[in-house]
Structure 1
């Protein structure tokens, strides 16, 4: 990269303290997976900084983008008067569907409509409906100036996970176990990311909420940073991504950027999933700029296309009247059941005959006749064949919902700004990785050159027991152990640093009489300390971990996103966690 481009990239950075790391003990609570999973004794957890007092220094070029995005959102929220109710309903569904797709939860909108009326044959659709309810629950909890509270976050999570049979017992509870993302299903071996220990989660969330409830941070930057921090904390056993994305619109609503609508940012993020995950990685490496820029692009595109959907929704009543006239030869009579159904159709695009009776009243026979006539005109279509509680939908509204997601995705995929953001993030992560590897390589080489280490490595082969004790004293960071082939060290040292689980068939080739001496064990212990110290450890987090060192390490595990779980009972409920800072007017939302 030349100096000009490097300067341009640096000018887009929003520095934030990088995540720290700590090597902690690990034990499976239930056996499973490979031998490497079962023998894993340590893992490296990530430790985000505290952000309650973080004030992002946003470069003017990024500030211009966020201002443009906020202008687009404000126009979306304020320009459509009586159409906002139907638009809000549409956009909430769009955001819930797209957010679920990021988690590989796929279902058609017709299945979504069925699930919203109690049909649970499609688990993915049921999950999408739960996501919509959770989104609405948390966003409306900040109406009337109420703060974002932990109690309401836990309520939203309980709503999200209540119908998930594998997760219902953890719904609305902070995790009391170590989870991880990627890698093995049975241990954090080779995980892409290991969140902080469970003992730190409550304190982290209190800090996050202090930041999220501030009014002196640019709103879109605040939403981006809060979301990234939430994903880094990963406070739940499952559902972290969806609740974390709900937090985005909740902050925009609390700050008054929106008053009615939900901005479907997830429709853009699902189209750029790889870039989305990489800007989260950039945040963890110490730069909030990429995720703020990505959110600005996603918000501007989503708001612009949502305006187009609002305009199309505004045109639907006349289109429906024309379709009705084409079948019956005349417009629906004012006050008739058909006319009244058309009046509520945009705000109630999925319904049963019983739903309409509850909303409109009137004779069952006239409502049934009106539904049949509207279906004949192509305005309504049946989603089920049953006679009782048959589900109907407004085809044009469902079609617009699908089209909105496709338009946002199409605009995002071809957006050159997204490509620029992603390319710069990759370049910066590669630069930081090279810098870290160079530093680590120097530490390994220095230790390998010491007289005591050279003498030890030139001696007889170590026994399996000796290697195990070296491994216990070393506490080598996972990233180092997984990339030993990248370091300029001798093969003997590489063999000792590698995972030390030795099979029974290998033990016979070792000399059991050769034991590890204190002069050899100490250099390895010192090496582990130096390799760990070269990473960052936020002092506020270190204090919590030091206080918990005397406690028993939680004997449980959780693999995020794969449905495999080894866990003890327990958890933290909403009642146990809410600090009671909200007033009684706000408490009723929770």
Structure 2
């Protein structure tokens, strides 16, 4: 199908409201628009650069943790939470009570992403995996009563106070089995010769339109992008997350999704999506370069100034790249140090301007790897 002939679906009558029933997408797509090819080439180039850069970074898993936490913070922010990345790395009990629910939402997301990435080793990118991921996403906090891990069996809607004044009403639940089966086949259909980035652009649109859960659809839909790119080997490591781009262009994001449904214009959505991949991949590679420079600089500081504590200083530095907010107790446990040795090492890191003490207290102090956090 040429995408200029794409038909997104139609409106069907429900009880006192209309819902949108999308067309199935498990078929080939083609286009004549050269600007899509140009954007696709640019996005693929930047993804290749990101993959190359990631292969040069030692202990990459430490830095992936920060990317996942940033994605969790931003993806949840789109849904209305207000936790920042510094708060996300803090202990929940150290936060004001009114911030703890937001903290929980972010940590649910991190656990859901990590679990899904692990499951890709044994499961295809399937409805089963998506439901497993959703179960973790809504396991605690505000969403725990919204049937975690189960596709909805009632009508939902977006915007408005009721179904009758909703901005968008997804398909009625009885259509979900065939729509989700079609989407699963589209994600895994090797007989369809379509670039991976275009496939996941279409799949993301379709998932958001189906809106198969009572809650958490936006977060799962954005998470699905990274999972697909890792599953299809487009990404060597889970380092690309589009939530930051979608939040920055939030109005355009929703407008372009709406344009597909109302005007059948999937071309503009694909262009927007590819531009997002290109920009995000560039930013991710730029961040990795800064991480490498930062690490080299601080390793040099430790080697030149820490004397007999050089080895344990390097161990603490490595810890900070995966846990950028620490306490004395954290360091004692992670590095098997006494309280005195841990406090002395933290003081040395503070004097060397590697860490900043954030509480101003003499006891129960918290130390922040500030320059690293600011990269994200």
Q: TM-score range, shorter-chain basis?
A: 0.7 to 0.9
Instruction: Give me the whole-angstrom Cα distance separating, in 2, the residues matched to 1:51 and 1:332.
Output: 63
Change (3 A) 1:177 1:55: same
The answer to whether the aligner puts 1:61 opposite 2:35 as a matched pair is: yes
Q: Secondary structure at the match of 1:114?
A: coil
1:109 Cα offset (Å)? 2.0
Q: Structure 2 length normalisation: TM-score? A: 0.88
Instruction: Give me the whole-angstrom Cα distance separating, in 1, the residues matched to 2:273 and 2:115.
Output: 22
Q: Which residue matches 2:305?
A: 330
1:233 Cα offset (Å)? 0.7
Instruction: Give me the whole-angstrom Cα distance separating, in 1, the residues matched to 2:271 and 2:25.
Output: 19
Change (3 A) 1:332 1:151: farther
- Structure 1, unaligned stretches of length 5 or more? 1-10, 26-41, 402-590
1:222 Cα offset (Å)? 1.0
Give every structure 1 segment of 4 or more consecutive aligned residues whose post-TM-superposition deviation is greater than 6 Å. Answer: none
Contact 2:355/2:367 (<8 A) preserved: yes
Q: RMSD in angstroms over aligned alpha carbons?
A: 2.7
Match of 1:88 among 58, 61, 64: 64
Q: Secondary structure at the match of 1:79?
A: helix
- Please list, as runs of the form range in 1=range in 2, the aligned pairs for 1:330-369 lying within 5 A after superposition: 330-333=305-308, 336-369=311-344
1:206 Cα offset (Å)? 1.6
1:383 Cα offset (Å)? 5.2
Match of 1:304 among 282, 287, 290: 282
Match of 1:206 among 170, 174, 181: 181
Q: Which residue matches 2:234?
A: 257
Q: Which residue matches 2:50?
A: 76
- Structure 2, unaligned stretches of length 5 or more? none
- Residue-by-residue CA offset, 1:96-147 (whole Å, 9 max, x unaligned): 2222222222222221112578868312232222222222332343247x41
- Residue-by-residue CA offset, 1:57-98 (whole Å, 9 max, x unaligned): 363320221121122112112224234334422322222222
Q: Structure 1 length normalisation: TM-score? A: 0.58
Contact 1:323/1:378 (<8 A) preserved: no
The answer to whether the aligner puts 1:316 opposite 2:294 as a matched pair is: yes
Instruction: Give me the whole-angstrom Cα distance separating, in 2, the residues matched to 1:195 and 1:383.
Output: 46
Higher normalized contact order (CA 8 Å, seq sep 6+, divided by chain length) = 1
Instruction: Give me the whole-angstrom Cα distance separating, in 2, the residues matched to 1:99 and 1:220.
Output: 20
- Residue-by-residue CA offset, 1:173-215 (whole Å, 9 max, x unaligned): 211111111122xx21121110111122232212111111234
Instruction: Give me the whole-angstrom Cα distance separating, in 1, the residues matched to 2:6 and 2:43.
Output: 23
Change (3 A) 1:77 1:343: same
Instruction: Give me the whole-angstrom Cα distance separating, in 2, the residues matched to 1:202 and 1:116.
Output: 38
1:362 Cα offset (Å)? 4.4
Match of 1:103 among 71, 75, 79: 79
Match of 1:130 among 108, 130, 151: 108
1:394 Cα offset (Å)? 1.3
Match of 1:19 among 5, 9, 34: 9
Q: Secondary structure at the match of 2:49?
A: helix
Match of 1:190 among 159, 165, 172: 165
Instruction: Give me the whole-angstrom Cα distance separating, in 2, the residues matched to 1:182 and 1:301.
Output: 29
Number of equivalenced pairs: 367
